Structure formats: structure tokens, C-alpha cells
Structure 1
């Protein structure tokens, strides 16, 4: 199947997702277990990173393409945590556990009052290839309280209208997801 290619505009029917990283790789993909803090980012000067997963529903080819990059991002998060440990910590006893477990996703049309724009990442510019990357504008949420409120609003929108999308690792035969409203 040919991979879905996103356009220059995030359309209302597109499925957008926020990556979910957990300590336990066996964390169940259950929308009722999503932590509201997955939508909170303390880098207040940056917009919120999302992935465009398909139009109408998550596309298997997109999920299969994105999963290795998401797994690599989990490895980078682990390295970042390790580099911040103080010398007196025994690295073996503090081994951080960060695993990519999937996306919490919803149709763009259900994320009201937010500007979401395409932001494809390239190897040359960012060192990673992600034609499905998008940013949710946080211009009005650059301070802690506003960013927290936005995270709770997004959490409620995704929880009410969304679903979990499982990663598609080549060795697995896990369905990407079922249709969402």
C-alpha cells in the first residue's frame, strides 16, 4: 500500500496524534489511562509537537513508517536522562526506562480553537526525517499556568473524541487502530 502523504494544510478529517512515552513498555493502550501531563510541555517557548497519522483514519503505512523514529526518540530520552544524573548515582541502579507505546489521537476537527500547522522535519535541518510532523500553536500558552490549562483542554478533547493508536513494529502484526469519530 502506498504511504499517505500529508498536504500543506492540516485538514479537518486528518487524524493527529500525540506520542505517548511510558516507563513500562507493557502499559495498556487505554485512553482512560492517558495522563493529562502528556499534553503539558514545560518548554514554554516552543509549540506542541504532534504527528499527522492519516486522513479519515490512521494509515497503517504511516504508523509503520513512524514507529522506528518514535522508538529512537525514546532511546534519546533515556540518554538525556542518563546524561543529567549526578556522578554519585550508580548508572546501573538508576537506568531510566522510557518506551514509546503509541499515540493518543483524534481528528483535527475535534481539536477546537487551536491552530495546527504542518512542520515536516528533514534530515538536513533537524537530523530526523518526519514528513508527518505538525505543531500546535502555543502563542497564548507561553507561561506555566496557560500551558497547564491548554494541556487540560487538549486532554479532554482527545479523551472525548479520540482513541489510542498502537505502534506497528515490523516484527508485530498489531493493528494500527480502529476508526475514530
Structure 2
């Protein structure tokens, strides 16, 4: 059951927020979040798996997305596990990026907001990929192995093109811009 939830979470992608995708993510979250409370052990995080391309994303964009993600300085103990590009029929010729993180001392969506904001700023500073993104999702898991994922938190910005991610009007406003999907 846990492995199935991890598969659902991994295959949900980054759609523009259709009710089907949100329902799949909600199912994965409810299944995995119950494990987070039962797991008090240190994080177990798999090595990074290369970002995957999906839908209408052009070949090579996943490599660029991964390079941008890897340019962000991560807090102690946090690692990038994987990422993926996904498309939405409402956003032709664009794609969303989802980044999965694991480990470290992030246990609430509010604690994830500053790191997610750093990813948003990095993508905005990389127009070769940022100009083609309609959404950014940043997920964090307490544990993420090859067979299990638990303790999911996820934030999303489904209006990535509308937001400047430049510290204006304020840092607080940017942090509050994130929509909590799980956590």
C-alpha cells in the first residue's frame, strides 16, 4: 500500500491543478502522511534520480531543470531525490516542474516555504527554462527510498509566470504566495 502511494505521488506530475491530479495527490498524501507520524527515525533518502520529461516538454528540458534545481543551496541534511516536468492542456507549449526533496529538519509547509522560494528564484533567473514554466511544485519527504515515501509536504505556484520571485513587494508576500497542497 505504501509503495502504491509513492507511485501515485511520483506519477501525479505537475498539472495545472486539475481535480483528477489533486485527488491523486490527496490520496497519496493521506496514505503517506499517516506514516510520517509513526516514523520518528532519522531520514532515509535515496540517491538522486535524473529528472524526467513528460508531455510536450522538449528534449533536454529535464536536464536544464535539474541543473537549475542543483544550483540551489540546500539546508543541512536535505537532498534532491528527483524531479519531473509535466504538461497541462490549459497551458500549451509550457510545462510545470516538480522537485522532490528528502531529509533535513523540514517538518512543516511553513518551514518549506523559504527553500521553495529559493527554487522559484533560481528558475526565474534561468530564462531558458523559467520562461517556459507555468507551475512549480516543491515537495519534501521525511523519508524517500526506492520502495517508500512518507511524511510528504508540498507547495505549489500554479501561476509561476505571473509571479516575479524577486523579493517584491516583500519577502513575506513571496512566502505567502505558495499554496499548500500537502502539509
TM-score, with structure 2 as normaliser: 0.31
Q: Which has the higher helix share?
A: 2
Instruction: Please identify the structure whose Cα radius of gyration is greater.
Output: 1
Q: Which has the higher contact order (CA 8 A, sep 6+)?
A: 1
TM-score, with structure 1 as normaliser: 0.32
